Structure 1
Amino acid sequence: MQKWFNTAGPCKDDIHYMLPSIERLPEIKQLIAQENYFVIHAPRQVGKTTAMISLAKELTDSGQYVSVMLSLEVGAVFSHDPDAAERAILDEWQDAIKFYLPKELQPNDGIQGESGRQIGSFLSAWAQCSPRPLVVFLDEIDALSDQTLVSVLRQIRSGFPRRPHGFPQSLALVGMRDVRDYKFASGGSNRLNSSSPFNIKVRSFTLSNFTLEDVRKLYQQHTDATGQIFTPEAVDLAFHLTQGQPWLVNAIAKEIVEYIAKDPAIPITPELVNQAKEILIKRQDTHLDSLAERLREQRVRAIVQPILSGLELEDTPEDDRRYLLDLGLVVRSQEGGLKIANPIYQEVVPRVLSQGTQDSLPMIQPSWLNADGSLNVQVLLDAFLAFWRQHGEPLFKSTPYPEIAPHLVMMAFLHRVANGGGTLEREYAIGSGRMDICLRYGKVTLGMELKVWADGRSNPLNEGLQQLDNYLSGLGLETGWLVIFDRRKGLPPISDRTTTESTTSPAGRKITVIRG
């Protein structure tokens, strides 16, 4: 049977390329044997549900346990009505159990408890009549909130001492976040902020991204099935761009083999991987779109804004930093500090944040193109300066992150340029004091560095020239732009203070300095 790369919902081993789930969760079997309750949290679309379904089947097929993955999501609409939520959840569970388990391992029909403890009564009765120890994975736990969430957690905690004969031997809560971050108040503005009322968990751990070797194995399945080769360089680039994020790994391969290079005789090269990456970023499928929605949350903004600008992270609650880590939006870098999780997200985040500004841009004729369609860098500079003097400051109000409004307005302008047939790449990191941008248009590559001059800080010119030297060296360029956004108080309007000058960097490169 033909198989496919999957980007929608749980994988099915008969039609999808997939990796063995237990290899990504090596500790679980030991936790189950020790009769532990635990939490598995990871961002959306990294394979949690696929892993739980697969692992439950493996445990059941071993003959040692009865195991099943059950969802709590249908109870989400009844956040203030635990009774209604329990009825909906149990109805859903009955259907799932009949689908996943043979008749002899299913619980008796009609198990019901008193109002407010139907979940606990069901699990208790099933554990007592089960021919083997019961292991349950409760998916989408963080879809619940308020009274319903607390009721379910308390029922599980109440039954915990009676395991394994009077309650599941082992139980896992599966969701995007750890227990402390589950929503409690209406609207999700407050959180439990502790493991209570689920202080019985022995561990919380996350489902890791694919390793480079995992990506090789996954892509090799397609090669074995079709003969279509992923070159080693293409696999390396796919891993670099995604950092092993499973949805992205699958999405890049799916875009290539189903749309860009459908002929199996065509080898998959880095050029095709880059082409797929650009399509995904521009299209912003559900995965990337849902990630982008988080950027408007205040606790996300407080961390992402300094990352984009390269400034130091101010005092932020540990829970907020953990929240972004749990979402998979940021990671802790080996060099120290937080950074956006992978190069694709690094492109998506500023693109999304500058989208409102892009939509607010006035009509701009592409005067920066020569008659043959090539990019004229000097004319582009003149066009940008004219745009910046007239429209820069008014457009600041169109940006959702006011502290980096100049960055977003400039990127909106550059996106207008790149949309004519080029690409825009960015590099930024918390505490670096800069954002680097590379505009590629045909045979022309333009490297630039964005710096901020804030109150209480020294002129960033010299530091910027040194940093730009390093960036241009990596691009193999001898010229570039250094853009200094002067954000000090009491200055004249941008239209009056925007200037340019030519200077030489410490390494002897010709640099155009733009101040505005």
Structure 2
Amino acid sequence: MARSFNTTGPCVPGDHYMITAAERLPEVPALVAARKYFVLHAPRQTGKTTALQALAAELTTAGTQAAVVLSMEAGRPWPDDVGAATRAILTRARQTARVHLPPELRPPPWPDVWPEGLLSEAFAGWAQACPRPLVLFLDEVDALTGRTLLSVLGQLRDGYRDRPGGFPSAIALCGLRDVRDYRVTATDGQTRLSSPSPFNIKVTSLRLHDFTLDEVHELYSQHTAETGQTFTRQAVERAYDLTLGQPWLINALAYEIVDRMRILPAVPITTEHIDGAAERLTIARETHLDSLLERLHDPRVRRIIEPVLAGTQVRFNPFSDDLQYTIDLGLIRRTASAVEVANPIYRNVITRVLADGLFEGVLGAPQPHSFVLPDGRLDLDGLLQRFSDFWHRTEDLVDADQPYREVTPHITLLGYLDRAINGSGFVDREYGV
């Protein structure tokens, strides 16, 4: 079976085009060899689990360690029932070990001990029974909250002193956010650790980088090698410019072109195909985009995004890490001179999302193709006049329930343009003009 571009879940070697773990996480083997505990974080669907699974398989195959990726998400439903959460996590851990490790490296029966010490006792027993140093990559740790999160971090910290024979030799906490942003209180999503003290044994926090232009070229070249279908140099550069290397978007653009637009292998993929795929992704708002953009309702995110949209200076309390939190989510990037939305596709989708519902049932909302001149050009003068009339009639109504009030006129204009062209053109969004 030919490989494909993956947009759902971890990549599987042999099934999907992918960049090797060594290229994406060059620091991790040295940290593991030095028996370090560390944090790896990156936005969703940037390839954390894919890279870690590949790395764990390489370490185990090399015969130097017994390495495996364990998901902690099974404990999510029990934020304050440590026992139930731990039993769910360990049940899933045994299933994972059965699939990914040979029998001699799998854990022994889990101990029957009190809930607050079950995880550490289980990992200690596994490390003692394992003939090799045990390496655990604990994925989705930030899915845990409340007492369960504090208990897990505390047990890992307490077991650290017993390495390497009596506890896992190396452990990585992997998730969307750095450890300081893990949530403590189940009923209040804004209550965070504020510092890494419950896991102060970590030596470093790594952030998985987005693809470089060379990595995008390498990924797309794998498709060319297997199918003969080429990406023009300009198409690869355009894909990178629109995404700035965000891995899910890079794969999604190619998947859209190859599997949904069904561009035949004999046809080279050009910038026009990339632009068309980007517009289709923006309109469709796939699961990745929807889950990311749900964060726009978070007050911490709004405090950063709103001034970026308005083109004003991003102001934040120097003791607040709202900016870093928004960067960790993948919505924002910081350059030498500015704070800006992470990439042009996110920039386009954000304004579309914020404009959702503004025109429902509103008199004077634009109709598709209502501003097309007989020769096919855009009737810009007519569009601006109609928008001006629309704004003056509906300003109070549109502004009433808009959370991003500082940029309501901007968002409304862009939403108006989107509905006016209705997919028959492109709106090139520039914030803060």
Instruction: State the Cα distance separating 1:373 from its structure 2 match.
Output: 4.6
1:328 matched to 2:330: yes
1:390 aligned residue: 393
1:77 matched to 2:77: yes
- Listed as ranges, the gaps of 5+ residues in structure 2 are none
**Secondary structure at the counterpart of residue 230 of structure 1:** coil
User: For 1:93-108, what aligned pairs fall within 5 Å after superposition?
Assistant: 93-108=93-108
Provide the rounded CA distance (Å) in 1 between the counterparts of 2:270 and 2:94.
48
2:142 aligned residue: 142
Letter in 1 for 2:311: G
Question: Which deviations, in whole Å up to 9, do the C-alpha atoms of 1:129-178 show, x marking residues without a partner?
Answer: 11111110000000000000000000000000000000011000000001
User: For 1:24-63, what aligned pairs fall within 5 Å after superposition?
Assistant: 24-63=24-63
Instruction: State the Cα distance separating 1:189 from its structure 2 match.
Output: 1.7
Say if 2:235 and 2:274, in contact at 8 Å, map to a contact too: yes
1:427 aligned residue: 430
Measured at CA, do residues 360 and 178 of structure 1 come closer, stay the same or move farther in structure 2, by a change above 3 Å?
farther
Say if 1:356 and 1:398, in contact at 8 Å, map to a contact too: no
Measured at CA, do residues 420 and 202 of structure 1 come closer, stay the same or move farther in structure 2, by a change above 3 Å?
closer
1:403 matched to 2:406: yes
Question: Which deviations, in whole Å up to 9, do the C-alpha atoms of 1:407-429 show, x marking residues without a partner?
Answer: 1222222222121622211122x
**Secondary structure at the counterpart of residue 69 of structure 2:** strand
1:477 aligned residue: none
1:458 aligned residue: none
Question: Which deviations, in whole Å up to 9, do the C-alpha atoms of 1:386-416 show, x marking residues without a partner?
Answer: 2122123321124220111111222222222
1:357 matched to 2:370: no
User: For 1:470-509, what aligned pairs fall within 5 Å after superposition?
Assistant: none
Provide the rounded CA distance (Å) in 2 between the counterparts of 1:279 and 1:420.
9
Letter in 1 for 2:156: I
Which structure has the larger Rg over C-alpha atoms? 1
Say if 1:396 and 1:409, in contact at 8 Å, map to a contact too: no
- Worse-matched range after superposition: 175-184 or 395-404: 395-404
Greater strand proportion: 1
Measured at CA, do residues 420 and 184 of structure 1 come closer, stay the same or move farther in structure 2, by a change above 3 Å?
closer
Instruction: State the Cα distance separating 1:313 from its structure 2 match.
Output: 1.4
Provide the rounded CA distance (Å) in 1 between the counterparts of 2:3 and 2:111.
40
Letter in 1 for 2:98: K
Letter in 1 for 2:188: G
Say if 2:366 and 2:420, in contact at 8 Å, map to a contact too: no
Provide the rounded CA distance (Å) in 2 between the counterparts of 1:405 and 1:100.
51
Say if 1:357 and 1:398, in contact at 8 Å, map to a contact too: no
1:236 matched to 2:237: yes
**Secondary structure at the counterpart of residue 172 of structure 1:** strand
Instruction: State the Cα distance separating 1:367 from its structure 2 match.
Output: 4.6
Provide the rounded CA distance (Å) in 2 between the counterparts of 1:227 and 1:113.
59
1:311 aligned residue: 312
**Secondary structure at the counterpart of residue 18 of structure 2:** coil
Say if 1:138 and 1:174, in contact at 8 Å, map to a contact too: yes
Between 1 and 2, higher relative CO (CA 8 Å, sep ≥ 6) is seen in 2
Provide the rounded CA distance (Å) in 1 between the counterparts of 2:153 and 2:208.
22
Question: Which deviations, in whole Å up to 9, do the C-alpha atoms of 1:92-132 show, x marking residues without a partner?
Answer: 11111101001111122344433211110011011111111
Question: Which deviations, in whole Å up to 9, do the C-alpha atoms of 1:321-344 show, x marking residues without a partner?
Answer: 11111111101113x221100110
Provide the rounded CA distance (Å) in 2 between the counterparts of 1:360 and 1:151.
51
1:443 aligned residue: none
Provide the rounded CA distance (Å) in 1 between the counterparts of 2:349 and 2:77.
31
Measured at CA, do residues 79 and 341 of structure 1 come closer, stay the same or move farther in structure 2, by a change above 3 Å?
same
Say if 2:211 and 2:246, in contact at 8 Å, map to a contact too: yes
Say if 2:41 and 2:174, in contact at 8 Å, map to a contact too: yes
**Secondary structure at the counterpart of residue 357 of structure 2:** helix
Instruction: State the Cα distance separating 1:382 from its structure 2 match.
Output: 2.4
Measured at CA, do residues 264 and 420 of structure 1 come closer, stay the same or move farther in structure 2, by a change above 3 Å?
closer
Provide the rounded CA distance (Å) in 2 between the counterparts of 1:322 and 1:384.
37
Say if 2:216 and 2:250, in contact at 8 Å, map to a contact too: yes
Provide the rounded CA distance (Å) in 1 between the counterparts of 2:77 and 2:89.
11
Instruction: State the Cα distance separating 1:65 from its structure 2 match.
Output: 0.4
CA RMSD between the two structures: 1.4
TM-score by length of 1: 0.81
Provide the rounded CA distance (Å) in 1 between the counterparts of 2:14 and 2:112.
36
**Secondary structure at the counterpart of residue 38 of structure 1:** strand
Instruction: State the Cα distance separating 1:380 from its structure 2 match.
Output: 1.9
Say if 1:369 and 1:376, in contact at 8 Å, map to a contact too: yes
Say if 1:230 and 1:267, in contact at 8 Å, map to a contact too: yes
Instruction: State the Cα distance separating 1:360 from its structure 2 match.
Output: 5.0
**Secondary structure at the counterpart of residue 115 of structure 2:** coil
Question: Which deviations, in whole Å up to 9, do the C-alpha atoms of 1:263-312 show, x marking residues without a partner?
Answer: 10010000000000000000000110011100011111111000000011
Provide the rounded CA distance (Å) in 2 between the counterparts of 1:113 and 1:69.
24
User: For 1:361-372, what aligned pairs fall within 5 Å after superposition?
Assistant: 361-362=362-363, 363-365=365-367, 367-372=370-375
User: For 1:118-133, what aligned pairs fall within 5 Å after superposition?
Assistant: 118-133=118-133
Provide the rounded CA distance (Å) in 2 between the counterparts of 1:368 and 1:268.
31
| Residue in structure 2 matching 1:414, options 412, 417, 426 | 417
Question: Which deviations, in whole Å up to 9, do the C-alpha atoms of 1:438-460 show, x marking residues without a partner?
Answer: xxxxxxxxxxxxxxxxxxxxxxx
- Listed as ranges, the gaps of 5+ residues in structure 1 are 429-433, 436-516
1:218 aligned residue: 219
Say if 1:228 and 1:267, in contact at 8 Å, map to a contact too: yes
Instruction: State the Cα distance separating 1:358 from its structure 2 match.
Output: 3.2
Instruction: State the Cα distance separating 1:378 from its structure 2 match.
Output: 2.3
Instruction: State the Cα distance separating 1:356 from its structure 2 match.
Output: 2.3
Letter in 2 for 1:88: A
Say if 1:367 and 1:383, in contact at 8 Å, map to a contact too: no
Say if 1:139 and 1:175, in contact at 8 Å, map to a contact too: yes
Measured at CA, do residues 54 and 328 of structure 1 come closer, stay the same or move farther in structure 2, by a change above 3 Å?
same
Provide the rounded CA distance (Å) in 1 between the counterparts of 2:397 and 2:189.
34
Measured at CA, do residues 195 and 367 of structure 1 come closer, stay the same or move farther in structure 2, by a change above 3 Å?
closer
Provide the rounded CA distance (Å) in 2 between the counterparts of 1:89 and 1:346.
37
- Worse-matched range after superposition: 217-226 or 19-28: 19-28
1:257 aligned residue: 258
